[in-house]
Amino acid sequence: MTRPLLEITDLEVRYPSAGYIARLRGAPAHVTVLPDISLAIDTGQTVGLIGESGSGKTTLGRAAMGLAPITAGSVRVDDITVTSQDAPEWRQIRLRTAMMFQDAVASLDPRMTLGTSVTEPLAIQGAMNGRRRDRAVELLDLVGLTPDFADRYPHQISGGQARRVTVARALALEPSLVIADEPTAGLDLSVQGELLNLLNDLQARLGVSFLLITHNLAVARHVTDRIAIMYLGRIVEEATSEQIFRAPAHPYTRALIGAKDATGGEGLIAGDVPSLTDRPTGCEFRTRCPLATDLCAQKAPALETIGAGHVASCHYARPQEMPVATPDPLTDRSEI
Amino acid sequence: MADSTVSPPVAVRAERFGVLRRLFGAPLGAIAAIVVMAFALAAIAAPWLAPYDPNAIAPVNRMQGPSGAHWLGTDQLGRDLLSRIIHGTRTALYVAFAGTGGALAVGMAMGMAAGLGGKVLDSVLVLFNDSIKALPLVLFALALVTIYGASMVTLISVIAVSMAPGYFRVVRNQVMVLNNADFIVAAQSMGASRLRLAVTHMLPNLIGPILVLIAMDIPAVIGIESGLSFLGQGIQPPQSSWGNMLAEGYTYVRQAPHIAVAAGLPIVVSTIAFTFLGEALRDALDPRSGGRS
Amino acid sequence: MNNLVREPILSLDDVSITYPGAPAPAVRGVTLDVAQGETLGLVGESGSGKSSLAAAIIGLLPDGSQIGGTVRFEGRDLAHMPARTLRALRGTEIATIAQDPFTALNPIMRIGRQLDEFQHWRGDLNRAERRARATDMLAQVGLSDPEVRMTQYPHQMSGGILQRIAIAAALLAEPKLLIADEPTTALDATTEAQILGIMADAKARVRGATVFITHDISVVERLCDRVAVLYAGELVESGTVAQVLEAPKHPYTQALLACDPARIGKPTRSLPTIPGTVPAPDNLPQGCVFAPRCPVAIECCETIRPKLESAGPGRRAACHLVNT
């Protein structure tokens, strides 16, 4: 078995919280967003990172590029391993890894032309071959934008076009891994399809790996090879996309699928996501779990293998066959 | 491949000219810019523009009203008022630019340091700047004048020190906002160094608010210079300054009101012009205000 | 489901909306009825004019906007009603639920006081009775500690809880018309499911009709009786949810449904798209607005604009291929 392209091992991310005064009043000094997380991505693979807001999925994506404070564990890309946020090796990693931000327009400098923006990675890494404008036009062409976009500013283009520009910028250094945070957020359905097809197409042609961070399971089902489900900064289930949808093992996964597809599942999940500074004892999902028992309050379940390439952290984890995904969409609509 | 192949006809223009065009597109902005340019021209070309030596005393002609020979009349020593106003413009703008320039340099350096440095440095700098801001300007100025004597250098120093906290605050806050802006994090994710972040991403995004602040501060500085000179604590006679002239005109306002009017008018006009220019600049500098066409 | 019998609560006739300074109307010729007890889903992508239409119904278009045609609420023309009368209607007979619950509530006022003020028109109740009514309503939208919530401020709550409070506030008005503008777009998946469940209960309690504005077909599927599909400012198809989602007639509806990844059974890496872009209001094609992107357009689609005509019992579509 070959080594994965990206390997995140036992990573902990802790942010300093609260100012001096709040801390004197007893506020915690740190918020642990990711207590202990591991994830691997193979070359040419797309891994979906699914979770609700506050699940830490964006933080994990940022930590993988050294944009979050790493307090324990390691990140490895190819043969470069780093264990802290200020390691000089990030420069090497950033040569091979690119990031697409959730808000595409905001991730472009409002005072730079798009041509300057897409070629910025080349300028930063000193990899500009030929004239900057020519490279900009080439990159824009790669994502189906005409050369005149090079002279425009971010506020002059649509949301879908801004997405394409960020794809072009992500591909400038021909990275082996692209971390895409909610790449279709705010896009209309028809444009969403276009963007996902573009990413798939680029993956097929260039062999890029993708870490796709999203809350949209319907999208993830079509474009990912593997899916990791996150809750409160931990992975609660990970498997191939096919397994996740056919036989989800964790009650949270089942709820997410059920919640989105109206195909049954275990019904609705009550309540809200608990606070990161006030994590429940035992299993952290138990406060919302329909299956919770005393055992769940006492003992935190470990992430255990429950099938080939399928892990889940639940005392009662069992792959449960779901009714065939999205059959006739009209059958169940009176249920909720 | 939908929204790419058909590109809407957006008029693409070079951004720098766009700013000027938008500035002159607003009537108030255009008028303000022209008035400011006229003042600047008067300041630069004062020795050639002024019809007389501003300090040439001619007691025979004292306190004459406007005439063909002296367009704005003469003062109590028979000096040509127009010439003194033109030279006074030079003094006013020199003090204004040197003062705000000094304030900008000091404030920006501190603001960048506070925004990019650590929490402790930030706290210290904020405390320092807030302390300066808490000093009453006139008392502070009078204290410095008492210690160092009234002179242009003292005046400019007073202005630079008292105005610096304004720039500090704008730069610091802007840098703090930019620190978390997606496009800054994006540049970091590409491996950009701190220096590169500051120069290619922060500075261009700081220029707008700073230019506006400068344009808004200049009328205030003109007011301070005139005010202190009026009180005899600023520019020292016989050097011509609007404030000096106003003070002299005030003494003789019953016999020759035209002196005070001639000295007061440029103060009012330049202050208003710079204020409007500042507002027009703020609108014109934001590329988003151009909108999609 | 026979709408001929019932008097429509809301009736739009040939409605067009022109924003101040805009060269062309953003919404053109929309005609539709919402009957008593009915839930209508107003579906469209960005630029479809669905939000403009909602703003026109509740009289919240920017000053200087022009509304053509008539918007009748129980026979009264909302579009040309004095602002005062319209204000009196809003919050009593017409209630709205906004997209963003964080901005819909006043951040510096306790929930209890806000819910109290929403009932200012109930002169027959004293303050204690109004508060009791509000507390009761919070319990009905599934909040566990309604008394505690009444004393809290909006920033102390999550988006899901705030959206429930917004729903409770709308229901307190006992409206004859409830307008919900993308009420779940800003929420997480599990919260969205909770809120949709509560909305389903809520609309049963609305005395009159509910209009749901959304881009999400699955929301329409779960909550609505009828659906109206908007494209580029025009109504292209309407009918019962079962009819339209099962057998869409208009090529745009067909394409839109095909694009929804949640409706594609077999996972695929090549998702369907609609080629081209929505035309700008001042640059509309001469014929059918959808013709340039339509896979089945014929010659007359390029030149003649199709009218919205009957396309079977209870449904209408604006397409030459459907009507002929």
* Interchain pair A191, B192: CB under 8 A: no
Report the distance separating Cα A178 and Cα A43, nearest Å. 11
Task: Please tell me if residue A241 touches chain C, with a CB cutoff of 8 Å.
Answer: yes
C129 and C252: one domain?
A: no
CB < 8 Å to A120, chain B? 187, 190, 192
Q: Are B133 and B165 in contact (CB under 8 A)?
A: yes
Supply the pLDDT for residue A323. Answer: 55
Q: Which residues pair with A312 in a beta bridge?
A: A237, A304
- Give A119's Cβ-side CA count (13 Å radius): 23
Supply the pLDDT for residue A159. Answer: 84
Report the distance separating Cα C99 and Cα C163, nearest Å. 9
H-type helices in chain B, by residue range? 2-5, 15-25, 27-44, 46-49, 81-116, 119-134, 137-148, 152-179, 182-189, 194-196, 203-230, 242-251, 257-285, 287-290
Report the distance separating Cα C46 and Cα A292, nearest Å. 42
Average pLDDT of span A219-235 = 94
List the single residue in A62, A110, A158 with the smallest CB-CB distance to B3: A158
Find the residue in C nearest to B5 (Cα).
Answer: C276
The two beta strands, C316-317 and C234-240, are: antiparallel
Task: Please tell me if residue A198 touches chain C, with a CB cutoff of 8 Å.
Answer: no
Average pLDDT of span A140-145 = 89
Which of C277, C284, C294 is best to mutate for the B interface (most B CBs within 10 A)? C277
Report the distance separating Cα B63 and Cα C126, nearest Å. 79
List the single residue in B187, B188, B287 with the smallest CB-CB distance to A110: B287
Strands of A226-231's sheet in order across: A97-100, A177-181, A209-214, A46-50, A226-231, A234-240, A310-312, A304-307
**Please, what are the domains in chain A?**
6-224 (3.40.50.300), 248-312 (no CATH)
With b for 16 or more beta-carbon neighbours within 10 A and e for fewer, the C163-200 pattern comes to: bbbbbbbbbbbbbbbbbbbbbbebbbbbbbbbbbbbbb
C66 and C207: one domain?
A: yes
* Interchain pair A336, C193: CB under 8 A: yes
Supply the pLDDT for residue B287. Answer: 57
* Interchain pair B185, A67: CB under 8 A: yes
| Distance in Å, alpha carbon of A86 to nearest chain C alpha carbon | 33
Task: Please tell me if residue B189 touches chain A, with a CB cutoff of 8 Å.
Answer: yes
Say how many CB pairs under 8 Å bridge A and C: 109
Residue numbers of the domain that contains C156: 106-172
| Distance in Å, alpha carbon of A244 to nearest chain B alpha carbon | 31
Q: What is the pLDDT along chain B (293 residues), one digit of tens a residue?
A: 333 333 333 333 344 556 777 777 778 888 998 999 999 999 898 888 888 888 888 888 888 888 888 888 888 888 888 999 999 898 889 999 999 999 999 999 999 889 887 788 999 999 999 999 888 888 888 888 889 888 889 989 999 999 999 999 999 999 988 988 999 999 999 988 888 888 889 888 888 888 888 888 888 888 888 888 888 888 888 888 888 888 888 888 888 888 888 889 999 999 999 988 888 887 777 655 543 32
B56 or A181, which is more confident? A181
| Distance in Å, alpha carbon of B292 to nearest chain C alpha carbon | 13
CB < 8 Å to B6, chain C? 276-277
Supply the pLDDT for residue B46. Answer: 85
H-type helices in chain A, by residue range? 20-24, 57-63, 90-96, 114-118, 120-124, 132-142, 159-171, 189-206, 217-223, 241-246, 251-261, 294-298
List the single residue in A200, A215, A270 with the smallest CB-CB distance to C269: A200
List the single residue in C262, C270, C274 with the smallest CB-CB distance to A261: C262
The two beta strands, C226-231 and C39-43, are: parallel
Residue C322 included in any domain: no
The residue type of A318 is R
Report the candidate in A4, A104, A89 with the shortest Cα–Cα distance to residue A44: A4
Q: Are B155 and B163 in contact (CB under 8 A)?
A: no
DSSP SS3 for C60 = coil
Task: Please tell me if residue A150 touches chain B, with a CB cutoff of 8 Å.
Answer: no
Domain end, chosen from C172, C192, C213, is at C172
DSSP SS3 for C226 = strand
C180 and C264: one domain?
A: yes
pLDDT averaged over chain A? 86
| Distance in Å, alpha carbon of C273 to nearest chain B alpha carbon | 9
Task: Please tell me if residue A143 touches chain B, with a CB cutoff of 8 Å.
Answer: yes
DSSP SS3 for A31 = strand
The residue type of C91 is G
Report the candidate in C132, C96, C97 with the shortest Cα–Cα distance to residue C116: C132
Task: Please tell me if residue B203 touches chain A, with a CB cutoff of 8 Å.
Answer: no
Report the distance separating Cα B178 and Cα B198, nearest Å. 10
* Interchain pair B3, A160: CB under 8 A: yes
Find the residue in A nearest to B3 (Cα).
Answer: A161
Task: Please tell me if residue A289 touches chain B, with a CB cutoff of 8 Å.
Answer: no
C28 and C59: one domain?
A: yes
Q: How many CB atoms lie within 10 A of CB B119?
A: 11
CB < 8 Å to B5, chain A? 144, 146
Domain end, chosen from C172, C203, C225, is at C172
CATH of B17-57+71-290, one of 1.10.3720.10, 1.10.540.10, 1.10.150.130, 3.30.70.1350: 1.10.3720.10
DSSP SS3 for B251 = helix
Say how many CB pairs under 8 Å bridge A and B: 94
Model ipTM value: 0.83
Q: How many CB atoms lie within 10 A of CB C32?
A: 21
Tokens representing residue A186 in the block: 């705010």
* Interchain pair A326, C262: CB under 8 A: yes
Q: How many CB atoms lie within 10 A of CB C226?
A: 25
Grade residue A320 by pLDDT with cuts at 50, 70 and 90. Answer: low
Task: Please tell me if residue A194 touches chain C, with a CB cutoff of 8 Å.
Answer: yes
* Sequence-separated (6 or more) residues with CB below 8 Å from residue A326: A261, A263, C262, C263, C264, C265
Residue C186 included in any domain: yes
Eight-class DSSP state of C103: H
Domain residue spans in chain B?
17-57+71-290
Supply the pLDDT for residue B51. Answer: 86
Task: Please tell me if residue A95 touches chain B, with a CB cutoff of 8 Å.
Answer: yes
Q: Interface partners of A (3+ CB pairs, < 8 Å)? A: B, C
Eight-class DSSP state of C263: G
List the single residue in A65, A148, A161 with the smallest CB-CB distance to B3: A161
Supply the pLDDT for residue A20. Answer: 66
Handedness of CA C148, C153, C156, C157 (dihedral sign): positive
Task: Please tell me if residue C20 touches chain A, with a CB cutoff of 8 Å.
Answer: no
Report the candidate in B175, B10, B148, B160 with the shortest Cα–Cα distance to residue B99: B160
Phi, psi (rounded to 5 degrees) for A20? -55, -45
* Interchain pair C273, A262: CB under 8 A: no
Report the distance separating Cα C88 and Cα C314, nearest Å. 34
Grade residue A259 by pLDDT with cuts at 50, 70 and 90. Answer: low
Report the distance separating Cα A60 and Cα A66, nearest Å. 10
Cα–Cα distances in angstroms (integers) from residue A242 to residues A226, A328, B9, B134, C51, in the given order: 8, 20, 45, 66, 38
* Interchain pair B2, C280: CB under 8 A: no
Whichever domain contains C203, its CATH number is 3.40.50.300
| Distance in Å, alpha carbon of A71 to nearest chain B alpha carbon | 19
Report the distance separating Cα C159 and Cα C285, nearest Å. 41
Supply the pLDDT for residue A60. Answer: 95
* Sequence-separated (6 or more) residues with CB below 8 Å from residue B84: B54, B75, B240, B245
C25 and C126: one domain?
A: no
C166 and C188: one domain?
A: no
Tokens representing residue A103 in the block: 């808000």
Q: Interface partners of C (3+ CB pairs, < 8 Å)? A: A, B
* Interior angle at CA A106, CA A100 and CA A109, nearest 5: 95
* Interchain pair B3, C280: CB under 8 A: no
> At C146, which helix (H) or strand (E)?
helix C146-150
Cα–Cα distances in angstroms (integers) from residue B148 to residues B4, B61, B96, B101, in the given order: 67, 37, 20, 21
Cis bond before residue C313 (omega within 30° of 0): no
Grade residue A329 by pLDDT with cuts at 50, 70 and 90. Answer: very low
Tokens representing residue B269 in the block: 């006009």
DSSP letters for B7-54: --------HHHHHHHHHHHSHHHHHHHHHHHHHHHHHHTHHHH-SS-T
C133 and C155: one domain?
A: yes
The residue type of C289 is V
Supply the pLDDT for residue B5. Answer: 33
Q: Which residues pair with C228 in a beta bridge?
A: C42, C238
* Interchain pair C277, B6: CB under 8 A: yes
Supply the pLDDT for residue A243. Answer: 92
Cβ within 8 Å of A, B 204-223: 204-205
List the single residue in A188, A197, A218 with the smallest CB-CB distance to C270: A197
| Distance in Å, alpha carbon of A234 to nearest chain B alpha carbon | 24
For chain C, what is the domain count?
2
Report the distance separating Cα C259 and Cα C176, nearest Å. 35
**Residue numbers of chain C with a pLDDT score lower than 50:** 1-4, 324
The two beta strands, C76-77 and C66-73, are: antiparallel
pLDDT at A331 over 70: no
Say how many CB pairs under 8 Å bridge B and C: 10
Report the candidate in B228, B98, B114, B209 with the shortest Cα–Cα distance to residue B163: B98
DSSP SS3 for A46 = strand
The two beta strands, C309-310 and A177-181, are: unpaired
